């Protein structure tokens, strides 16, 4: 029975890989460089848009990070309404509240400003605006956004999620403690702003964990079975840039060059995984986030080396290539280079004070965590090696501290 299941999973993944060729994979139109966010209102106005909903969170509002955007929106004659109620793991209620604000104020587009949470909230809210009969719960899964969402401009303030170029929005359901993804090419923003000045004030621990989130995106896309030539190149660029710049940005948050390179790396990693998918790191991490509120970037940072250990020889060839590209290890067998790469991830985590496990995980929650992680991953994620329940539980147990 298990062999039949695995055969079905692989067949499904192969079909999905080739089905992806029918979709439009055009990159978002970019505004780049220091101060780029100040050019966004002119772009919005040039599209004939006169009123926007800005989706962000209270933390960014408190830091006055949006002040320059608001000032230039006023100068350009673009009205705006602000939704700043986004929680760290955006909920269905967050999405509905943002949608209501958009409709009652007759907005014409959405500006997502922040990290992954405001991005996900904005994407889902934009989809709900144009899909009033499809609830958030019904959108969860793949290709369930039936009508094109409201126009979305994405302004990332962290270098990690790559949400400004991805087709996914992750939503939490507090009633069930689940965290699920909405996956649909229609969710992909058409416009994005990569302004490194917006990331200069990030605390070191946010810099480190969001950066490792970007690394996870690139690595999971690269070692999976749904790569095409373009996603391989994006993943390789991202990995190289992250190894060269993440610890620089962590050590000196004002290093504008490192910040700029990390934003680009996050964007490239997003370009890679939005078509080539992720894997069990995300499946397990989403559910630890849903169950315990563990921040997504932190979950990715901690889980990544354990899942790579699990893949073993099925991922050695690909990981060896990444070891060479990143400069971690250029000599030895594929196994030696792959293991050196995994160890380099652990070492980088340690240098940036990222823990190697979680105290929150409870024994009694394991069956639910395993079931939900595998439900998310199988059959969709084209991983190097397919997990069963025992495999998944064994990996999660290694995360328990």
pTM of the model: 0.94
> CA–CA separation, 370 vs 283, rounded Å?
9
Task: Determine which helix (DSSP H) or strand (DSSP E) holds 153, and give its type and residue range.
Answer: strand 152-156
How much is the pLDDT for 129?
98
Query: Are β-strands 109-114 and 152-156 bridged in parallel, bridged antiparallel, or unpaired?
Result: parallel
> CA–CA separation, 312 vs 83, rounded Å?
45
Delimiting residues of CATH 1.20.1090.10 domain(s) in the chain: 2-16+203-399
| Cβ neighbour number for residue 59 with a 10 Å cutoff | 16
Kindly give, in sequence order, each residue whose CB lies less than 8 Å from that of residue 63, ignoring residues fewer than 6 positions away. 201
**Structure token digits, residue 386:** 């397919």
Task: Determine which helix (DSSP H) or strand (DSSP E) holds 50, and give its type and residue range.
Answer: none
DSSP state of 147: S
Assigned architecture for domain 2-16+203-399: Up-down Bundle (1.20)
**Structure token digits, residue 394:** 């064994």
C-alpha closest to that of 159 among 95, 40, 246, 281: 246
**Structure token digits, residue 271:** 């370009």
How much is the pLDDT for 25?
82
Mean pLDDT by 10 residues, the chain (401 residues): 93 92 88 97 98 97 95 97 94 97 98 95 98 95 94 97 93 86 93 97 95 98 96 98 98 98 97 95 95 94 98 98 97 97 98 97 97 96 98 98 89
Q: Does domain 33-199 fall into CATH 3.40.50.1970?
A: yes
Contact 38, 68 (CB under 8 A): yes
Delimiting residues of CATH 3.40.50.1970 domain(s) in the chain: 33-199
Phi, psi of 262 (to 5 degrees): -70, -35
**Structure token digits, residue 141:** 């899964």
> CA–CA separation, 146 vs 142, rounded Å?
11
């Amino acid at each position: 029975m298990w062999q039949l299941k695995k055969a079905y999973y692989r067949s499904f993944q192969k079909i999905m890989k080739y089905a992806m060729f029918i979709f439009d994979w055009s990159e978002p139109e970019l505004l780049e460089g220091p101060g780029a966010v100040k050019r966004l209102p002119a772009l919005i106005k040039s599209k004939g848009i006169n009123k926007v909903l800005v989706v962000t969170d209270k933390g960014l509002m408190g830091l006055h990070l949006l002040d320059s955007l608001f000032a230039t929106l006023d100068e350009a004659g673009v009205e705006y309404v602000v939704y700043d109620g986004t929680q760290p793991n955006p909920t269905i209620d967050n999405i509905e509240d943002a949608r209501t604000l958009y409709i009652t104020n007759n907005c014409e587009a959405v500006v997502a400003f922040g990290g992954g949470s405001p991005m996900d909230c904005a994407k889902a809210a934009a989809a709900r605006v144009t899909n009033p009969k499809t609830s958030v719960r019904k959108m969860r899964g793949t290709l369930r956004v039936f009508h094109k969402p409201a126009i979305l401009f994405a302004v990332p303030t962290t270098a990690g999620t790559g949400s400004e170029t991805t087709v996914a929005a992750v939503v939490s359901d507090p009633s069930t403690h689940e965290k699920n993804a909405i996956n649909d090419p229609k969710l992909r923003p058409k416009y994005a702003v990569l302004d490194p000045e917006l990331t200069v004030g990030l605390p070191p621990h946010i810099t480190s964990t969001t950066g490792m989130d970007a690394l996870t995106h690139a690595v999971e896309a690269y070692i999976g079975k749904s790569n095409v030539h373009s996603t391989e190149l994006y993943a390789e660029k991202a990995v190289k840039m992250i190894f060269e710049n993440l610890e620089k940005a962590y050590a000196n948050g004002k290093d504008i060059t490192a910040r700029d390179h990390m934003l680009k790396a996050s964007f490239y990693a997003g370009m890679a995984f939005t078509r080539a998918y992720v894997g069990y790191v995300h499946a397990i991490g989403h559910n630890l986030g849903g169950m315990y509120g563990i921040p997504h970037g932190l979950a990715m940072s901690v889980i990544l080396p354990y899942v790579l250990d699990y893949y073993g020889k099925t991922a050695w060839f690909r990981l060896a290539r990444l070891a060479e590209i990143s400069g971690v290890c250029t000599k030895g067998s594929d196994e030696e280079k792959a293991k050196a790469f995994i160890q380099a991830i652990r070492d980088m985590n340690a240098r940036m004070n990222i823990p190697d496990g979680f105290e929150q995980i409870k024994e009694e929650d394991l069956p639910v965590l395993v079931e939900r992680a595998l439900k998310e991953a199988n059959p969709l994620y084209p991983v190097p090696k397919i997990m069963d329940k025992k495999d998944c539980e064994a990996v999660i147990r290694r995360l328990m501290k």
